[in-house]
A and B are shown apart, each in its own frame.
Chain A
Amino acid sequence: MGLEGGRVTLADAANLHTFVDAAHFIANNTGFLATKALEQLALSGAALGIALAVALPLGVLLGHFHRGSTIAIGASIVGRGLPSLVLIAAFLTVLGIGFVNNMVALAVLGSGPLLTNSYDGVERVDRDAVEAARGMGMTGWQVLRGVELPLAIPLIFTGIRVAAVTIVATAPIAAIAGGGGLGDIIVNQASYRLSGVLGASICVMLLSALVFVALTGVQIAVTPRGVRRTSVVGEPQRREL
């Protein structure tokens, strides 16, 4: 793949050695790294909170009324195709450097999968189940609370998980726009050297993996037992009818 001969520094050549140095960096700076990790989690949590507050109800309502499929499709494109660096840089020019611009950019990024999945989850609930609930005299709100939301939970939660992992994984890039967190170390090789950059990168990977595993666990825990083995689009839940 020798497309172009990049420069290879001395540090690059001694690769195993670098990993040992990185391990030392992690061992010697656990407190600092933990602070930075918490900073990153705070930023990610705030962004996810905004995305949850805006995108989730919007997706659920659009799905409930079977409206706005273009919005849902558009959101999925935004989630995937809009480069995070572009988003962060664009919000920086509007909102200035610091916490807020990164929070908003990450919230927009996370809103994509949230909106798409909550819309899909509710919209695709078996029409027969909804009809039956209506026939029993349930109001629209009761149908949403008692039938559509429980059946949509697997898909909605997948959306939450994807959004959370996307936000946590993108947060290091926010460091370039004053977002803080572990990314501060990664983008500052001049101060922390390759061992620090590598150590922080490994911490970032672990953090994302941790969020992924933790949320998968929560997802399994919160999914109603009746929906666990059936898909949202599948057979109507006889027990609930």
Chain B
Amino acid sequence: MSLLIGDTVIPSFGKGSSCVTGDHTFCWDWVREHWGDTLGPALWQHIELTAIAVVIGFAIAFPLALLAHRFRKLEQPFGIFSALLYTIPSLALFQFLVPFTGLTVTTVEIALVAYTLVILFPNIAQGLNSAPPDVLEAARGMGLTRLQTLTRVELPLAVPAIVGGLRIAVVSTVAIATIAAFLLPKGLGYPIFLALKEPTPFKTEIYSAGALAVALAIGCDGLLVGLRRVLVPWVSKGVA
């Protein structure tokens, strides 16, 4: 092994340590060295891709769910449509959108928003419909109008289901956003994508970017659990 050092430099690994050139299981020095130019930016782009998708998805899903709550007949058609949409493979959906919007962030975001909609809409709609009949009866007995019932009774009761939907949506979006690397040099999927394209895939790059993606998903999930504790402290823990 020591013969190789300073002798041959494998192109994309750069001038690495013996750990890097030998492609050992995990090289902390590579992570330290490439945090600034590879891992850090990829993590930030991943957060950006996810945040935009979830925020836009929520902004569309929420009014749609309110509409479906008001007109219950709309719920089933949308449910069937979303179940079918969710079976579309992300890689295929990305490619399908390329002729319309090109190899752009827009293409990726349209697909990601579509997937978040599929998760968020049924959860919000279900949450809004979850108020027990006697509670609604009591609200009407107190003289609340329909709008007041919605804002003071149904919405607060729907918060756990809404946060539950957001948790699933965020975790799934973090996962799906790694596939964006097939189109764009963005997100945590990209270092993995590049490492896989090497003749011998560079392990440290795969493991570090993969671990960051998983950590990001877990971290976002934890934040949302915290949010639920703040918003609806009376909900016992463990209820999704």
Contact = CB atoms under 8 A, between A and B. Distances in A.
A183 B91 contact: yes
Contacts, number: 154
B77 interface: no
Chain B residues touching A, range: 35 or more
A92 B196 contact: yes
A198 interface: yes
Contacts of B206: 86, 89-90, 92-93
A86 B100 contact: no
Interface residues of A, number: 50
B104 interface: yes
6 contacts: A1-B109, A12-B101, A89-B196, A201-B95, A208-B87, A208-B88
Interface in B12-34: none
Contacts of A212: 83-84, 87
Nearest to B203: A93
A211 B88 CA distance: 11
B192 A202 contact: no
A222 interface: no
Contact of A82 (B101, B175, B189, B201): B175
Interface string B71-111: 00000000000011001111111011011111111110100
Contact of B91 (A1, A4, A172): A172
Interface in B36-75: 48, 52, 56
Chain A CB count within 10 A is highest, among B48, B87, B189, for: B87
Q: Which 3 A-B pairs have the closest CB atoms?
A: A6-B104, A86-B210, A15-B99
B95 A84 contact: no
A183 B104 CA distance: 21
Contact of A204 (B91, B102, B178, B209): B91
- The main secondary structure of chain A at its interface with chain B is helix
A22 to B, nearest CB: 8
B55 to A, nearest CB: 11
B172 interface: yes
Interface stretch (B121-129, B132-140, B212-220, B227-235): B212-220
Given A6-B107, A80-B168, A209-B88, 15 more contacts: A1-B109, A12-B98, A15-B100, A81-B174, A82-B175, A85-B189, A86-B178, A86-B210, A86-B214, A92-B206, A176-B197, A198-B98, A198-B99, A201-B93, A208-B87
Interface of A: 1-9, 11-12, 14-16, 18-19, 77, 80-86, 89-90, 92-93, 165, 168-170, 172-173, 176-177, 183, 186-187, 194, 197-198, 201-202, 204-205, 208-209, 211-212
A211 B174 CA distance: 25
- The main secondary structure of chain B at its interface with chain A is helix
A19 B103 contact: no
Nearest to B106: A1
Interface string B181-214: 1101000010011011100010100110110011
Contacts of B176: 83
Contact of B192 (A7, A80, A86): A86
Contacts of A86: 178, 192, 206, 209-210, 213-214
A170 B87 contact: no
Contacts of B192: 85-86, 89
A176 B192 CA distance: 11
Chain A CB count within 10 A is highest, among B98, B99, B178, for: B99
B131 interface: no
B189 A205 contact: no
A187 B182 contact: yes
Given A186-B91, A205-B88, A85 B99 contact: no
Contacts of B101: 12
A6 B102 contact: yes
B189 A3 contact: no
Contacts of A90: 206-207, 210
Given A83-B178, A186-B92, A7 B201 contact: no
Given A86-B213, A187-B182, A205-B88, A12 B106 contact: no
B174 A83 contact: yes
B171 interface: yes
A197 B209 CA distance: 27
